[in-house]
Structure 1
Amino acid sequence: MNLASGSLLSGAYILALLSTAVVGLPTRTVTWQEYSLLILSVIGIGIICAIAFPRIWRTGPRPRLWLTASLIAVIALLYVQLRLPQPESNDISQFVSSSAQGQVVTIQGNVETVPRLTRSQKGQFWLEATQLTELESNENRGTTTRGVTGKLYVTVPLLQSTGLFPGQTISVTGVLYKPKPAANPGGFDFATYLTKEGAFAGLSGRQVSFPDENQESTWGWWMLRQRIIHAQVRQLGSPTGLLLSSIVLGRKAVDLPYDIRDLFIQTGFAHVLAASGFHVSLILGSV
């Protein structure tokens, strides 16, 4: 295979990946019917190129190579569709209310992460949903409970998230919502972020309750991480201890004040707060 052939095949693969933006991936759920039209379009373009280009560009790639390039493009499209997380039929995102105000629901599930402080001073954590309870119509004030699946991005008032731990079963009352894509080019795309995390909806929580009041935390690596953070804060104080914990464990593991994070970003040293083996070895070597 010469350089021109390799460039054509590689370009077909890359262009096929980029073409998924035409149908709205990865910020929206695309049906197989829509995706099939994209695949048929790619095949059609490959056939047209195989017929037309050899007549115009006589020293260029042969028809067989153009057809091979279209086949590689189709494989790239199928690869994207198979690897991209898709909501199941009973995923919690399927029950988001279409009304502007949103319907108040109660979601029961298992906490996946230790709550973290958001920029808006709320507690945020991931919840693996297992049960949805919603009110019926105004005429009948009963409730409907159904089993659900899926991962939720949950935010609650800070005091409501205090003391939550991974593996704990809780119920959160609030309003479900679907994330919106970035409003400005290059801005933070919340919908894409959730999709990468395997989630398709968020929950703006108001109240956290506990079906089992006697739950005890089970051992996990998160407990060791919390002990390290507490020890460093106890010895160095705040925010110095939190800053050291961010360097050792990564900023995602520590509620480092946002004013300090912003200073590191503005000065171009945000990478210092990303935990890596190199950083840990420097710290251990210094100790």
Structure 2
Amino acid sequence: MPFLVVSLALAGLALGTVPLAAMSRLVILFLLGATGCWRARQLGARPLPTLALLVIAPSLLLWSLWRQPQPGPGDPVQLLEGESGREQVLRGQLASDPRPRGDAGGCSLPLRTAGGHTELLLEPCPPLRQGWLVEASGSLRRPVSGPHPLLSGPAERLARRGIWSQLRLGAATDLRVLARPATPIADLRRRMAAALIQQGGERKGGILAALVLGSAVVPLPADVGASFRAAGLSHALAASGFHLTVLLGAVMTLGRRLPRLPRCLLALGAMLLFLLLAGPQPSVVRAVLMGGVAFAVLESGGRSRPLGVLLLSVLLMLLVEPWWLQDVGFQLSVAATAGLILTASPLEAALTRCLPAWAAAGLAVPVAASLWTLPLQLHHFGIVPLYAVPANLVVAPLLTPLTLGAMAMALTAVLLPPLLPLLAWPLLPLCSLLLAITRGFAALPMAQWQLGRPLPALVLLFGLSLLPWLLPGAGAWPRRLGAAGLALVLTVHLALLGGDALLLVHRWSGDLLVARHRGRGALVSGRADDFSCADARKLASGLGLERYDWITLLDPVAPTDPACWSGQTSLLVSSHDGQSGLQPGQRLESPGLSLAPLSGDSQALHLGIGRHRWWLLPDPQSLEAWSDRGQPNAESLAGVWLGFRPSPRQQQLLSASGPGQVWLSGEAPGLPRGWSASGTSGSLEGAAG
């Protein structure tokens, strides 16, 4: 079966239908189709339905790729006509409430126009509400793409939502509210969230609100979200099947003595209420569809087949909204659910042989979900929450009463507000305990094990190799092949991480150079601003670096947030007065990585990566100083980086020195052979020598 899956994937690649970068994101559908066929054959299903299942999954995958969002003829991006920016006036309806833009300042929100969507960028942020009709005037532009795959930009983020343009408003007067139509559902969400936050404060109240509405609807403080991610508990605050299961369990317990019709109406009402409050997020829609299909099967007297219900739900969702296939939450939700269906019960039975029944039952669920989502975790984040399983075991007794209590508080906030403090009294201490446990796990060493983001092809091979170990009844040979595949993935990934390499990332006028040697890394940054610091942190995470050995900042302006930089390294050197922070005779050095200045009157730096030598020349003065000192032996010079566009004379000067590679930041057409330029927003990456 894995051979057939791989063959289908390679066939798609040959046809040019499936891009390689998308393969690992779509592997979950192939796995579902393959496991569905395998399970069907185990249960003695007829060959024809099994073959149909095998055909449906790849066909749906290719169809979903073909139907990914594209700008229509009336989309605002069509107004640009090839220009990079243009003043425009757009009218439309606000598709959500404003959201803060973090370090960028101001806020953003999507605007639904007659022919498409655009994102409004506002600073300062006026009081706006979802559903209002507005007229906005500003500079319309295309979103900027990320300079490197590890640094996704607005273009990638917005494209997944079917948005292809941004409208930047210069002042609050550039936006005029035309109408304020009633938005009862959005108002109800705001009212519930505000009431819970008022009772418990920004953190505890925010957690209670997220347990009801989901963290996608209720933004949490940055430190709270970071703690839950590091502890592997983000799913607890994302509206999903767990929350619906808790709600349905409570509702059906209350209505178990009712006749069939009222009981069905009660269950349907609970599912619709959950969908309305949490919104049509992919994980919510999947949970509601699965719950509805399973409930209908059980009420009709049949026996529910969870895997079939999951496959049917995925089919229906992707037929309606193909773009959900690229949604990270959807992928993780489907993978985790498949793990609970296919692996949790056999794993529990195996664990019962050596553990008490209650411990085996509690351990099987988080282990199964973690293993099935592991390939996606590595692909999207390059990080494994090392303590996710024990953290889930510890907080499991708290989540059900907290979720039920938060739902009761939300309803009470609407129906009987005076009783809200009474419900909050026992729940807030439980919420404090949940937050304390989460922060405790997040503070443990290596809470987020940074393995680096593997190549998409390695993720695909990893998922296929892991499959025989996750399915009950797999034979010895499939598991041996799986073990060999896992060993191959690990060997190749570690070899790629451990090589001598240099990465240049150029965004606007800022440069980041990451030197790597045998799994260690060091950073040279041309800018000391907060954006560069955030990019440096993302690069470290994606490259599997826990911390940089050392960081040097060439920006003559002191960093606005030194703690951001010092938190990524134990040795930080900043420039001052336009001079390098390193003086002649000084040197930054760690095993296999070194940095030394050429002189005290320039920013020219000598970078050592293993046995390879690079010269870093950020400006023309550093190039002149480098040439005045005498050109180095070509055999010992691996490459030169220029932070500027050289003149023809400077190009001749550099070519005469015979460096192995010459990298330039920015646009530079007509370069000599063997030279490379990053582009306005792009990157260069390769072996150090």
Q: Same fold, TM exceeding 0.5?
A: yes
Residues 17-66 of structure 1, C-alpha deviation per residue, up to 9 Å, x if partnerless? 554466999xxxxxxxxxxxxxxxxxxxxxxxxxxxxxxxxxxxxxxxxx
Q: Percent identity?
A: 26
Which amino acid counterpart does residue 152 of structure 1 have in structure 2? Answer: T
Q: Secondary structure at the match of 2:119?
A: strand
Which residue number in structure 2 is paired with residue 236 of structure 1? 200
* Equivalent of 1:167 in 119, 127, 131: 131
Query: 2:71 matched to 1:87?
Result: yes
Deviation above 6 Å: which 4+ runs of structure 1?
74-78
For 2:220 and 2:20, the matched residues in 1 are separated by 39
For 1:154 and 1:16, the matched residues in 2 are separated by 41
Which residue number in structure 1 is paired with residue 166 of structure 2? 202
Within a 5 Å distance, the mapping from 1:61-100 to structure 2 comes to 79-80=63-64, 82-96=66-80, 98-99=82-83
Please tell me whether the aligned partners of residues 97 and 176 of structure 1 are also in contact (alpha carbons under 8 angstroms): no
Which residue number in structure 1 is paired with residue 86 of structure 2? 103
TM score, norm. by length of structure 2:
0.28
Residues 146-199 of structure 1, C-alpha deviation per residue, up to 9 Å, x if partnerless? xxx111122212432x1x222211012222222333322333354333222122
Task: Write 1 or 2 for the structure with the bigger share of helix.
Answer: 2
Q: Using a 3 Å threshold, how does the CA distance of structure 1 residues 276 and 21 change in structure 2: closer, same or farther?
A: closer
Q: Secondary structure at the match of 1:233?
A: helix
Please tell me whether the aligned partners of residues 107 and 129 of structure 1 are also in contact (alpha carbons under 8 angstroms): yes
* Equivalent of 1:156 in 122, 135, 138: 122
* Equivalent of 2:101 in 118, 129, 147: 118
For 1:76 and 1:7, the matched residues in 2 are separated by 19
Q: Which ranges of structure 1 fall in alignment gaps of 5 or more residues?
A: 26-71, 131-148
Please report how far the alpha carbon of residue 231 of structure 1 lies from its aligned counterpart in structure 2 after TM superposition: 0.8
Please tell me whether the aligned partners of residues 18 and 62 of structure 2 are also in contact (alpha carbons under 8 angstroms): no
Please tell me whether the aligned partners of residues 20 and 77 of structure 1 are also in contact (alpha carbons under 8 angstroms): no
Higher CA-based Rg: 2
Please tell me whether the aligned partners of residues 247 and 273 of structure 1 are also in contact (alpha carbons under 8 angstroms): yes
Please tell me whether the aligned partners of residues 16 and 76 of structure 1 are also in contact (alpha carbons under 8 angstroms): no
For 1:16 and 1:182, the matched residues in 2 are separated by 30
Please report how far the alpha carbon of residue 255 of structure 1 lies from its aligned counterpart in structure 2 after TM superposition: 3.0
Q: Using a 3 Å threshold, how does the CA distance of structure 1 residues 99 and 82 change in structure 2: closer, same or farther?
A: closer
Q: Using a 3 Å threshold, how does the CA distance of structure 1 residues 96 and 273 change in structure 2: closer, same or farther?
A: farther
Please tell me whether the aligned partners of residues 109 and 121 of structure 2 are also in contact (alpha carbons under 8 angstroms): yes
Q: Which has the higher contact order (CA 8 A, sep 6+)?
A: 1
Q: Secondary structure at the match of 2:91?
A: strand
* Equivalent of 1:14 in 9, 13, 31: 9
Which residue number in structure 1 is paired with residue 262 of structure 2? none
Q: Secondary structure at the match of 1:89?
A: coil
Please tell me whether the aligned partners of residues 131 and 180 of structure 2 are also in contact (alpha carbons under 8 angstroms): no
Q: Using a 3 Å threshold, how does the CA distance of structure 1 residues 76 and 249 change in structure 2: closer, same or farther?
A: closer
Q: Using a 3 Å threshold, how does the CA distance of structure 1 residues 13 and 222 change in structure 2: closer, same or farther?
A: farther
Within a 5 Å distance, the mapping from 1:9-48 to structure 2 comes to 10-18=5-13, 19-20=16-17
Q: Secondary structure at the match of 1:265?
A: helix
Please tell me whether the aligned partners of residues 117 and 255 of structure 1 are also in contact (alpha carbons under 8 angstroms): no
Query: 2:208 matched to 1:253?
Result: no
Please tell me whether the aligned partners of residues 131 and 183 of structure 2 are also in contact (alpha carbons under 8 angstroms): no
Q: Using a 3 Å threshold, how does the CA distance of structure 1 residues 211 and 114 change in structure 2: closer, same or farther?
A: closer
Q: Which ranges of structure 2 fall in alignment gaps of 5 or more residues?
A: 23-55, 247-399, 406-422, 424-689
Which residue number in structure 2 is paired with residue 135 of structure 1? none
Please report how far the alpha carbon of residue 258 of structure 1 lies from its aligned counterpart in structure 2 after TM superposition: 2.2
Please report how far the alpha carbon of residue 78 of structure 1 lies from its aligned counterpart in structure 2 after TM superposition: 6.5
TM score, norm. by length of structure 1:
0.62
CA RMSD of aligned residues (A): 3.4
Please tell me whether the aligned partners of residues 106 and 122 of structure 2 are also in contact (alpha carbons under 8 angstroms): yes
Please report how far the alpha carbon of residue 117 of structure 1 lies from its aligned counterpart in structure 2 after TM superposition: 1.9
Please report how far the alpha carbon of residue 111 of structure 1 lies from its aligned counterpart in structure 2 after TM superposition: 0.9
For 1:168 and 1:201, the matched residues in 2 are separated by 20
Q: Using a 3 Å threshold, how does the CA distance of structure 1 residues 13 and 152 change in structure 2: closer, same or farther?
A: farther
Which amino acid counterpart does residue 234 of structure 1 have in structure 2? Answer: Q
For 2:61 and 2:194, the matched residues in 1 are separated by 47
Please tell me whether the aligned partners of residues 132 and 177 of structure 2 are also in contact (alpha carbons under 8 angstroms): no
